[in-house]
Chain A
Amino acid sequence: MRVAQARRFVVSDHPLPWLLPLVAILLVFTVYPLIYNIWLSFHEFVPRRRALEFVGTENWVQLWNDTRFWQSLVITFTYFAIALVFELVLGMAIALLLDSDGFGFGFLRGVLTMTLVIPPAIVGMMYLLMEDPQFGVISYLLQSIGLLNPNNPILATASTALAGVLVAEIWQWTPFMVLIFLAGLRALPPEPYEAAMIDGASSFQIFRRITLPMMSKVIAIAVLVRGIDLFRVFDYVFVMTSGGPGASTYSLSLYAWQQTFSFVKWGYGATLSLVTLVIILVIANLFIRIAKVRW
């Protein structure tokens, strides 16, 4: 009886005072900027009058006809897809490799963790050095095995610039997948494996039929968390290529940022950043529904 009373008291407790600071800061820092952004997307800064002017749907029409925008959308999706596939496959392979009790494996996991906490902007600068055509260690390696023409600097050649950026991205974030997958693998029950061993299943069959299905929730969360970050890539491209050469590494975030801060197209920049937000929210929410991710 007393427990039931207590439970009723717990339920009736009012959450508002507890949530108020969070709600306040989220309202001020996300809802207000969002509304401001929408308002801004119907305006444009007019330099000669030094003021914002109402331009109606002009920015949205411009967006539709802007080949640079569509190009950056394709580049962002390409970056997103390539990085995600590499990080997932490499991450799973390394996690399977590390999921045993070999010599010093705890230490190895620690080393992998290190890549995750170096500022991506600094990682970008470091890869800029490693991919330098004259004295970069990666360039030197690729040139000496004949994979890279010394006259084509990786980051200044349109066909290889995106790959040059992706190397930094994949290097930094594959360990993230490894750690998540290792946590997932560690939590798997041993019984299905024992049964499969008795039935004489091959290790590939075991992976396909047992490990992958049981890991689906973990994989879904990894895709979601990493995918959101990949789609808003900014740090690496800003530091390593600034979108160039030409427009071969322009990501949506970088394009929106440059329109606002380099070209003083405040309204158009706001429109671009809104579109980026909408695309991420739509895709992420669809994914959450389809993959049944629970938080």
Chain B
Amino acid sequence: MNGSFSTRMLRTIAAWVVVAVFFFPIYYWTSVAFKHGNDIFNRPPKLFAFTPTFDNFQKVFGISLGSGGITVTPGGGNFYMAPRVWDSIVIATLSTVLAVAIATLAAYALSRMNFRGRHSFVGWVLSTRMMPPVAVAVPMFFIYKNFGLIDTYTGMVLIHALMNLPLAVLLMKSFFDDIPSEIDESAIVDGASRFMIFRRIVLPMAKGGIAATAVLCFIFSWTEFLFALTLTTTSVKTVPVVSSTFVTSIGTAWGNMAALGAASIIPAFIVILLVQKHLVRGLTMGSLKQ
């Protein structure tokens, strides 16, 4: 499969070129984030030769970079986004904790206990992953309205946890399936209770899997759009939802938009660092092992 030196060389060059094409948009947006207005609207588009500025980040996050290092000045500007970033962090963190806790319990039972209807139960969990968000968001809007959950952290945390549950259950089940059940059985012989085995033996062994599941849940909540758009109005809003507020009647604030976009790439770095090993398994809900 390796071929001669020249074919390998060609292949390596081709791979770098293809990935460069995919990386180009990310470079381009990031460059826009560091551009002054007139450089953004230049034609032909300026790719490299422009004077970088930190203004866009300052407007969007209240963070400025001067001679005295990084200074944080909260508030101000039409597109000040720091509260929305905070909302996104709170919602993603709490919904991840909830989803992973519930999913880990359920996945342990699905992995270790034999009971009637187990297969159809897994099928049911999977089918909730197939639901189009709009089919849940529309009725949820009315239900949330009746219970006063619109525009609250609680409401968003619950719906994002729900959205991630099928993924988390199936993924955790696949991680538990990898731990030999003989370990549980010998612990039972020694007189340990189910919960003790779960807490003392299985959970520590599945640490890596739990971390991978948690990071993926966090990312899916961080990037979720439709529920956040539908179930929030003013006081709680996530980052993807406010991205369209950069479009105003006097034009679009592309530089500010790009600053938000560039910052939204940060979770990407975290994912790559933390869970690349488990990423494929997570994206296919445990059905593929890497």
Contact = CB atoms under 8 A, between A and B. Distances in A.
By secondary structure, the A interface counts as helix
A75 to B, nearest CB: 15
Contacts of B153: none
A165 to B, nearest CB: 14
Interface string A90-130: 00001001101011110011111111111111101111111
B223 A117 contact: yes
A25 B261 contact: no
Contacts of B224: 119
Contacts of B258: 126, 129
Nearest to B136: A33
Contact of A113 (B110, B181, B279): B279
B243 to A, nearest CB: 5
Contact of A232 (B19, B134, B240): B134
A120 B241 CA distance: 11
A61 interface: no
Nearest to B228: A121
A187 B290 CA distance: 8
Interface residues of B, number: 112
Contact of B223 (A118, A136, A274, A295): A118
A34 to B, nearest CB: 8
Contacts of A102: 8, 11-12, 15
Given A135-B41, A256-B134, A126 B261 contact: yes
B268 A117 contact: yes
Q: Taking each of B138, B222, B257, which has the highest tally of chain A beta carbons within 10 Å of its own beta carbon?
A: B138
A221 B288 contact: yes
Interface string A249-284: 000110011001100001001100110110011001
Contacts of B289: 183, 187
A261 B121 CA distance: 34
Interface string A164-178: 000000010011100
Contacts of B175: none
Specify which of B186, B267, B284 lies most central, judged by the most chain A CB atoms within 10 Å of its CB: B284
A210 B81 CA distance: 52
Given A36-B139, A295-B122, A115 B134 contact: no
A290 interface: no
B287 A269 contact: no
A114 B103 contact: no
Given A232-B132, A276-B135, A10 B113 contact: yes
Contacts of A77: none
Contacts of B281: 183
A261 B134 CA distance: 11
Interface stretch (B25-33, B55-63, B72-80, B205-213): B25-33
Interface in A25-74: 25-26, 29-30, 32-34, 36-37, 40
Given A18-B106, A119-B243, A129 B133 contact: no
Nearest to A294: B287
B214 interface: no
B47 to A, nearest CB: 8
B157 to A, nearest CB: 12
Nearest to A113: B272
Given A121-B244, A260-B138, A179 B279 contact: yes
B1 A193 contact: yes
Interface of B: 1-2, 8, 11-12, 14-16, 18-19, 22-23, 25-26, 28-29, 32, 40-45, 47, 101-103, 105-106, 108-110, 112-115, 121-143, 158-159, 161-162, 165, 169-170, 181, 184-186, 188-189, 194, 219, 222-226, 229-230, 239-241, 243-244, 246, 252, 254, 257-258, 260-261, 264-265, 267-269, 271-272, 276, 279-281, 283-290
12 contacts: A3-B185, A13-B113, A33-B143, A97-B14, A118-B261, A135-B45, A179-B279, A183-B289, A232-B133, A253-B134, A256-B134, A295-B285
Q: Which 6 A-B pairs have the closest CB atoms?
A: A18-B109, A102-B12, A232-B132, A121-B240, A119-B240, A119-B223
Given A112-B22, A121-B243, A225-B283, 10 more contacts: A10-B112, A36-B139, A114-B268, A125-B244, A135-B40, A183-B288, A235-B240, A253-B133, A281-B130, A285-B127
